[in-house]
Each structure stands twice: as structure tokens, then as C-alpha cells.
Chains A and B, each alone.
Chain A
Amino acid sequence: EVQLVESGGGLIEPGGSLRLSCAASGLTLSKAWMSWVRQAPGKGLEWVGRVKSKTDGDTAEYAAPVKGRFTISRDDSQNTLYLQMNSLKIEDTAVYSCTTVNYGYDASNIWGQGTMVTVSS
């Protein structure tokens, strides 16, 4: 059974940096396409970014609001996906979830439970 467990969220001041982790079990992360999705309190879902598997090029795409500030990476030895978030803004406050991506339609078929990031002074 595939499981994704996010961690690393917390309270951070505007302009600060945070790195979220997504520990995967039941799959080899280097072979998986993965994404990050966020949800601000009481709001809808917002796609953050997606990275292809290493075998497919390991390239990433990002949403406009986070492009240049957020970076997706992975540590194969730890089977862990990361979301490095820099220059955080108040509007980045949200629950961040990692997902596996599948089926050729960028469908997020397995989700973690999410980790809360609060950007506030």
C-alpha cells in the first residue's frame, strides 16, 4: 500500500523559508511523478507544482504564484520528496499535500494527509 506522509509545516514570518517533506512508502519515489497541492483555510484546492520521475527527465512545473520561490526536489536515499519554500508570503498560508500523479492525465491518485503552513508576523 502506498502511503505519503508530509511534515515540516509550522508558523513562519513573511519572507522566511520552510522546507516541507513528503516521506513515501510502498513506492520508489525516483520512478514516480509527484505533485504538491495546497488548500488555504476554508478555500478550494490550488495546484502548486509537479515533478516528473527521474527516468522521465525529473523536470518540474510550477504555478505562477510560487514560481521562482518554491522548488520541488527529492532524496532517493530517503525516498522523500521536498518542497523548498522561500520568500514566503501571507497568502502562502495553507495545508500542503503531496500526491502521486498517474494515468497520463496528471491525476492525483494518492494523497498525503497534508501539513499546515502558517505565514504570519
Chain B
Amino acid sequence: DIQVTQSPSSLSASVGDRVTITCRASQSISNYVNWYQQKPGKAPKLLIYGASSLESGVPSRFSGSGSGTDFTLTISSLQPEDFATYYCQQTYRFPLTFGGGTKVEI
């Protein structure tokens, strides 16, 4: 199975900060990475698919990059509503796997 390692597992940031979350795959997965945001008690929300394509309706302060084994999700200017847990997911090969999550806190 392809392992997906997210880092950091949590981070503290302030409104206006630039935040970067990393996802590393155990083997090359081309650009088959999706990113999700989950708030407590809510269903996850798709932010980025195909490593860098922004889902419709998602603010442009979210961006994704990377290919091969290393991927990043960047929030250019953190807003109050962005405090949440973020997950990457590899969809290159079955079984599909999620990273362990990154909790973004104040």
C-alpha cells in the first residue's frame, strides 16, 4: 500500500499567516493527490484535486502544488474560518489512503 505522511500533525498560526502543510507519499503518485478541510462535527470539504486544481467555490487563498512524492497545501493568508483539520489523500493506486491530518489552531 502507498503510505501518505502529513506534516506537521498540528500547527499554531495567526490570522493573516501563510500556512504550508506537507504530504509525502511512499512512492511516486504523479499528481494524484486531493486535499480536504474538516471542521469539528462537519463532513470534510474538498479543497484541491489533482494536486493543484481548486475546487469550485473554494477561496483562492488555498493552493496546492507538487508531483511525484512531495505535495503541499498552502493557505496564503489564514482567515478565522480556516481553523480546521486538513487531510491529503492519494488516489494513484488502491487502496486509496489519507494522510493522518494536520490540525491548524490559533
Spell out A's residues near B (CB within 8 Å): 37, 44-47, 50, 61-64, 97, 102-109, 111-114
Contacts and interface: CB of A to CB of B under 8 A. Distances in A.
Given A107-B91, A111-B44, A47 B97 contact: yes
Contacts of B55: 107, 109
Contact of A45 (B32, B53, B94, B98): B98
Nearest to B101: A44
Interface residues of B, number: 24
Given A64-B1, A105-B91, A107-B91, A47 B98 contact: yes
Contacts of A50: 96
Given A45-B87, A112-B43, A105 B34 contact: yes
A102 B50 CA distance: 11
Interface string B70-106: 0000000000000000010101001111111100000
A119 B55 CA distance: 35
B58 to A, nearest CB: 11
Given A47-B89, A112-B43, A103 B49 contact: yes
Interface of B: 1, 32, 34, 36, 38, 43-46, 49-50, 53, 55, 87, 89, 91, 94-101
A105 B96 contact: no
Contacts of B101: 44-45
Nearest to A47: B96
A52 to B, nearest CB: 12
B43 A103 contact: no
A61 B36 CA distance: 21
A104 B91 CA distance: 10
Contacts of B43: 97, 111-114
Contacts of A47: 89, 95-98
A93 B53 CA distance: 33
Most buried by B among A50, A105, A111: A105
Contacts of A111: 43-45
